[in-house]
Structure 1
């Protein structure tokens, strides 16, 4: 029999994957444990196929590593992280290329690659160690009611919870935003991303590859055990063919698209396919509600900016909530949420423009565009003044 309890919190976060978990930990640690926090998550992180902790890897920028270090999380992640020492950017069938090396920027790494499954285990272990964070899982929100001073959420368990602030961190197809009537704009990129881990005859030596092909960009990120994390963007009509290929056929076609910079591609893990679109919430705040991470903006993976942008959402929101609490303000009130929105809008727009611009530039096979982008790649390789702004944003060295 269900208890139908109403639990009281300062903040309720809907979504317990990377973004939601990092927000819970940021709020807990920056407030020195003075806030009561709930994280509502529909799927257990230990469950196979959890959408937030599947076989994918993500590239953490140096800026994100710094933020993780501030929260005391990086020390638990670094043992399984792979440093990106160099990035090789090329346009298949054309002469343009650019190389970016960490030593050019006085650092040992341009970023690090972490596996989501490992990160999920670390984050949930850290949340379990806090007396002020309740992980309500498995559960999902069935209804949301707002009044002047609080938000009340009905849970699928039959219980309810109340908070001064509700945060939607439940991904691109946010149930939380849907229940609140918070709409989003969506642009279909006309591509799907094929995700897999692959092994190669030659060691990657910490080098990441971004290769632009007529069918879409292809990225290989260095991973542990000599593997590379593949993101291969293709037209949707090729999805069934790719999933139907044997491992040998898949590797042969990938080899043809990528080339031989890592020698022969020798092994592949399970393949996953995700549709690609730009989705941007019409509003990132509403009455007693903030929207962060993929619920606020879902990006093309071309420059690996999705989680890095979301983590900057997380840290900015946590800082504004803590500052508001210290000043005696309502942490879910308009003043706190407006400061969060004002700080985040410029970074969000600049990052969206960068990633969408790259997709547009490199998906276009008209000859003038091909000539222009290859000239641009060669100029970037030769001229630091052209390369530096793009590299700094990719490294997460941006204002927030």
Structure 2
């Protein structure tokens, strides 16, 4: 791992010294969600051209559009780790994002009806924050505007990929254009599939998956409390599943303003599959159930916005590289949201691949070289496996009803809170700073 860090530092140094010598090489990206757009912007930062295909229609937006929130309580949100924030800073995008980002200064962990609890604070760890929480709609809007503004990114929406073919020197795909009902062809040096859990490209490449149904459904939305969040993220475990409540910005102003009151919170409530309908349809029941599981740590839950339900299934691709094709994002690994690590892991994958491709361009080498892509796949295994194991350990460890196991995990929480050297290690991994 130390050698990998040295390699990335050297690539960054070479890029700074040779930026003017970069030449454009064509990358095809299937899937224009947050990961696909972010990867295209990372490539553009390194002078590498890409064409991005998205099956849905992109909204017609411009930088002059009204940027105020239209729905105070209706949004999904993403917790961005400290490392993800750094990546967006590297490509010059963070200044455009941060007005709707709310920093996390502390993390509290506890279990309903138990004595164990633990806390991480930015003061103890000597960091500016553990990360930021941002509305998905705002992040997507800014990523799309940045991609539209880049001369190195070509966006094609309403495009259904129908076939993928490879030769020794190139990869081509066919896609059905929903707009004019024609099938069109594209060719590039490499194809990166960021097209989600049910990835079409992955299936066309005949790459299998290992799946696991958690038997749980995540209810995601925004709530309002009568107590300010004070930039504290709270992870609470109940017999039904984990409950995460994260700080959000107010409707107006910067979420990093120390004087901001902050009564909005992002919530992820995990319940057994089959129970979700009642929580989606009945605001009073939803708020009362959360209040019972959560106690008074966040004050009183007084209002709930529109919510969405998402069945939780772990999906891991059997391989992430096939010839000149790379599987990335949820297409490579769809994880349980318990620790908020899924998107952040995808961003570290995207950053690593963009760095390696940049190094190839500096050498006038092939960015779709199969050996290069296999090195990427191998280099990312340690980080991916660690995050996957951690998420599953938390899910299974905190939903087990055996009294002995419950006692062990509560003692472990107390030990985590008191023993030296444990917190800094966990905090470093949570912030994505150790990959």
Query: What's the TM-score once normalised by structure 2's chain length?
Result: 0.86
Q: Is the 8 A contact 1:9 1:38 kept in 2?
A: no
**Structure 2 counterpart of 1:392:** 428
Q: Is the 8 A contact 1:102 1:108 kept in 2?
A: yes
**Structure 2 residue matching 1:109: 3-state secondary structure:** coil
**Structure 2 counterpart of 1:214:** 239
- Hey, which bits of structure 1, 4+ residues long, moved more than 3 A? none
Q: CA deviation at 1:335?
A: 2.1
**Structure 2 counterpart of 1:138:** 158
**Structure 1 residue matching 2:140: 3-state secondary structure:** helix
Please list the CA deviations of residues 17-53 of structure 1 after superposition, one character each: whole Å capped at 9, or x if unmatched. 11000100000112xx3x3310101113438xxxxxx
Please list the CA deviations of residues 221-247 of structure 1 after superposition, one character each: whole Å capped at 9, or x if unmatched. 1001121011011100212222232x1
**Structure 2 counterpart of 1:193:** 218
Where in structure 2 are the equivalents of 1:152-301 lying within 5 Å?
152-157=172-177, 158-225=183-250, 226-245=263-282, 247-301=283-337
**Structure 2 counterpart of 1:71:** 91
- Equivalent-residue separation in structure 2 for 1:58 and 1:44 (angstroms): 22
Q: How many residues align?
A: 383
In the alignment, structure 1 residue 122 sits paired with structure 2 residue 158: no
Please list the CA deviations of residues 143-182 of structure 1 after superposition, one character each: whole Å capped at 9, or x if unmatched. 1121221111111112211111000101111111111111
Unaligned runs of at least 5 residues, structure 1: 1-7, 48-53
**Structure 1 counterpart of 2:28:** 12
Q: Please identify, of 221-230 and 382-391, the stretch whose mean Cα deviation from structure 2 is larger.
A: 382-391
- Equivalent-residue separation in structure 1 for 2:207 and 2:365 (angstroms): 25
Q: CA deviation at 1:385?
A: 2.2
- Equivalent-residue separation in structure 2 for 1:243 and 1:132 (angstroms): 42
Q: CA deviation at 1:9?
A: 6.6
**Structure 2 counterpart of 1:55:** 75
**Structure 2 counterpart of 1:23:** 39
Q: Is the 8 A contact 2:75 2:137 kept in 1?
A: yes
Q: CA deviation at 1:388?
A: 2.5
**Structure 1 counterpart of 2:11:** none
Q: Is the 8 A contact 1:199 1:228 kept in 2?
A: yes
Q: CA deviation at 1:325?
A: 1.9
- Equivalent-residue separation in structure 1 for 2:213 and 2:430 (angstroms): 23
Among candidates 291, 298, 318, match of residue 354 of structure 2: 318
- Equivalent-residue separation in structure 1 for 2:375 and 2:96 (angstroms): 31
Please list the CA deviations of residues 254-303 of structure 1 after superposition, one character each: whole Å capped at 9, or x if unmatched. 21111111221111110100011211110010110011111110111111
Query: What's the TM-score once normalised by structure 1's chain length?
Result: 0.93
Q: Is the 8 A contact 1:9 1:162 kept in 2?
A: no
Q: CA deviation at 1:73?
A: 1.4
Where in structure 2 are the equivalents of 1:74-89 lying within 5 Å?
74-89=94-109
Where in structure 2 are the equivalents of 1:345-364 lying within 5 Å?
345-364=381-400
- Equivalent-residue separation in structure 2 for 1:55 and 1:199 (angstroms): 12
**Structure 1 counterpart of 2:414:** 378
Q: Is the 8 A contact 2:197 2:334 kept in 1?
A: yes
Q: CA deviation at 1:213?
A: 0.4
Q: Is the 8 A contact 1:9 1:161 kept in 2?
A: no
Q: Please identify, of 356-365 and 249-258, the stretch whose mean Cα deviation from structure 2 is larger.
A: 249-258
In the alignment, structure 1 residue 148 sits paired with structure 2 residue 175: no
- Equivalent-residue separation in structure 2 for 1:152 and 1:61 (angstroms): 35
**What RMSD, in angstroms, separates the aligned Cα atoms of the two structures?**
1.6
Q: Is the 8 A contact 1:151 1:164 kept in 2?
A: yes
Please list the CA deviations of residues 101-141 of structure 1 after superposition, one character each: whole Å capped at 9, or x if unmatched. 11111122111001110011100110111111100012121
Q: Is the 8 A contact 1:217 1:233 kept in 2?
A: yes
